[in-house]
Amino acid sequence: MCDTKVRVRFAPSPTGHLHVGGARTALFNYLLARRLGGRFVLRIEDTDRARSTEEMTRSILDSMAWLGLDFDEGPYHQADGLERHRADALTLLESGAAYRCFCPPPEQGAPKKGEGDVCACSEISPEDGAVRAKAGEPHALRFRVPPGETAWEDAVHGRRSVSNEHVVDFVLLRSDGTPVYNLAVVSDDIDMGITYVLRGDDHLSNTPKQIMLYDALGASLPTFAHVPMILGTDGRRLSKRHGATSVEAFREEGVLPDALFNFLALLGWSPGDGREVMEKAELVEAFGMDRILKKSAVFDLEKLTWLNRQYVVLMPIERLVEMAAEPLRAAGVSPGVLEDQPDRVRAALDLARERGSTIQAVAAQAAPFLQEAISYDEDAVARFWKQPEEAALLLRATRDRLSSIVSFAPDDLEVEIRQLASQQEVGAGKIIHPLRVAVMGTAVSPGIFAVLSLMGQDLTLGRIEGALGYLDAMAGSRRLDG
- Return the number of the residue (44 or 324) whose C-beta is nearest ligand GLU: 44
Q: Which amino acid is at 272?
A: G
Our CB check for ligand GLU shows the closer of 230 and 431 to be 230
Q: Give per-residue burial for 208-224: e unless 16+ CB within 10 Å, then b.
A: bbbbbbbebbebeebbb
Closest CB to ligand GLU among residues 185, 348: 185
- For ligand GLU, the closer CB: 11 or 363: 11
Min dist. Cβ of residue 413 to ligand GLU (A): 58
Residues 6+ apart with CB under 8 A from 407: 413
Q: Which of 112, 113, 134, 240 does the annotation list as catalytic?
A: 240
CA-based radius of gyration for the chain: 32
Residue 439's φ and ψ, nearest 5 degrees, are: -90, -30
Given the complex with ligand GLU, which of 11 and 119 has the nearer CB atom?
11
| Min CB(13)–ligand GLU separation in Å | 4
- Please state, in angstroms and rounded to a whole number, the distance separating the CA atoms of residues 353 and 358: 9
Q: Angle at which helices 388-404 and 448-481 pack, to 10 degrees? A: 140
Among candidate residues 462, 420, 451, 431, the one with its CA nearest the CA of residue 355: 451
Residue closest to 143 by CA, chosen among 166, 120, 168, 125? 168
Minimum gap (Å) between residue 217 Cβ and ligand GLU: 16
Count CA within 13 A, CB hemisphere, residue 221.
18
Residue 146 CB, nearest approach to ligand GLU (Å): 22
In the structure, how many helices (H) and strands (E) does the chain have?
19, 12
How many angstroms separate the CA atoms of 465 and 100, rounded? 87
Q: Which residues pair with 99 in a beta bridge?
A: 142
193 contact partners, CB below 8 Å, separation of at least 6: 5, 7
Query: Residue 110: CB partners within 8 Å, gap ≥ 6?
Result: 168, 169, 170, 171
Smallest distance from the beta carbon of 127 to ligand GLU, in angstroms?
36
CB of residue 70 to ligand GLU, shortest distance in Å: 19
Q: How far is the CB of 25 from ligand GLU (least distance, A)?
A: 7
Which secondary structure element, helix H or strand E, spans residue 152, and what is its range?
strand 149-154
Closer Cβ to ligand GLU, 143 or 311, answer by number? 143
Pairing of strands 158-163, 223-227: unpaired
CB closer to ligand GLU out of 11 and 121: 11
Cβ closest to ligand GLU, residue 39 vs residue 399: 39
Please state the closest distance from residue 44 (CB atom) to ligand GLU, in A.
Answer: 9
- All residues at 6 or more sequence positions from 288 whose CB lies less than 8 Å from its CB, including other chains: 35
240 noted as active-site residue? yes
Q: Where are the beta strands (DSSP E) in 185-295?
A: 196-200, 223-227, 230-231
Q: What residues make contact with ligand GLU under the rule CB under 6 A? A: 11-13, 45, 185, 199, 203
Residue 37 and residue 196 in contact, taking contact as beta carbons nearer than 8 Å? no
Active site residues: 240
